[in-house]
Amino acid sequence: MRPITGREELDLFCQLPYVLNEELPNDLADGRRRPEWMWVALRGDRPLARVAWWSRAQGEAPLILDVLDIEDGASGSDHIDIGVRLLRTAMAATLPEGARRPEYSRFVPPDWRDDAGTRRAVEDRMSVLERTGARLFVERLRLEWRPESPVPQPGGRLVFRPVRDAEELVGLMASVLDGTLDAHGRDDLTRMSVREAATQHYETELARYTSPHDWWRVATLPDGEPVGFVIPARNDYNPIIAYIGVLPAHRGRGYIDDVLAEGTRVLAEQGVPRVRAATDLGNVPMANAFRRAGYVNFQREINMTWD
């Protein structure tokens, strides 16, 4: 059990399949991954299991555990045992002592429970995590709008303008946390104030996007009263709807459709090949809004955390 030596061992690391394999070369080149964060369990030259963490470019510590693979189709529980041993070994060597363990993220097919083989593979990986003390945090829908779909049209009820400054956006973000259905947002509020949670989200994610901030939109009534906002952006991999919300006083009136349509239009006007977004499986109103806007559920995401 050891980390890979460098880019020259990517072929070895990628012998176990996963949708993120094609991103690994650029991630290494851009500093979002490091060889010492990418571990394999080998029998001879055959990988039996692997784990890897991701961070932002040139990040000093891992932020997400997003690769954990074991041999599928192996008999008995030996492959799970190997995965547990590898993960424990890699975490001890990789993560700062006493630090909170990064969240686990896994992309799975949208119907992963319907196929016995796929379900077994997903649940085996979850078992590895559970045996190290992790628990299921949330399951999310990964959504995609494609150019062959109609561009959502404005409803005419709202006026859209750019975000004035960071202070305005953080204030709006704090407002929409009231009554949020988002599991990560609710979890943040158990550890910090609403304002602190909004500020942290802005500073650690939204402010880091290098795509134009003048894409960001505030939705208002004709008299200028804010109703909500949407953050169209481009991350390291795709054009995305990074954040969207309607203020509590204006919920239940269908404004989310107008706000999402505006964010989608902003990105569609850039000629993008796709627009991606995500929402919790349990956030039914938001999931329905994406469906009405022409987004399709192309994957799900499993998030697990350690207490």
Per residue in 294-307, pLDDT tens? 999 999 999 999 98
pLDDT of residue 77: 60
Does the structure show a pLDDT above 70 at 74? no
Instruction: Answer yes or no: are the C-beta atoms of 1 and 41 closer than 8 Å.
Output: yes
The angle, 0 to 180 degrees and rounded to 10, between the axes of the packed helices 284-292 and 255-268 is 50
73 three-class SS: coil
Q: pLDDT (tens digit, 9 = 90+) per residue, 139-188? A: 999 999 999 999 988 888 999 999 999 999 999 999 999 999 999 999 99
The pLDDT confidence band at residue 76, using thresholds 50, 70 and 90, is low
pLDDT at 75 over 80: no
Q: Report whether pLDDT(73) > 80.
A: no
- Give me the count of residues in the chain: 307
Write down the pLDDT at residue 256. Answer: 96
Find the mean pLDDT for residues 102-131. Answer: 97
Alpha carbons 248 and 39: distance in angstroms, whole number: 45
| pTM strictly above 0.85 | yes
What sign results for the dihedral spanned by CA atoms 173, 176, 177, 180?
negative
Mean per-residue pLDDT, 215-236:
97
Rounded Cα distance, 205 and 104, in Å: 18
Token pair 């910090």 is found at: 192
What is the mean predicted confidence (pLDDT) over 227-237? Answer: 97
Mean predicted confidence (pLDDT) in 111-137:
97
Query: What pLDDT score was predicted for residue 153?
Result: 83
Share of residues in the chain with pLDDT > 70 (%): 98
CA atoms of 33 and 23, how far apart (whole Å): 10
| Residue predicted with more confidence, 4 or 76 | 4
Q: 230: part of which helix (H) or strand (E)?
A: strand 226-234
Q: Could you give the dihedral angle defined by the CA atoms of residues 113, 117, 118 and 120, in that order, rounded to the nearest 10 degrees?
A: 80
Percent of the chain residues topping a pLDDT of 90: 93
Three-state SS for 285?
Answer: helix
- Give the model confidence (pLDDT) of 50-67 as tens digits: 999 999 987 889 999 999
Which residues are within 8 A (CB) of 80 and not within 5 positions of it... i.e. 6 or more apart?
70, 124, 127, 128, 131
| 282 three-class SS | coil
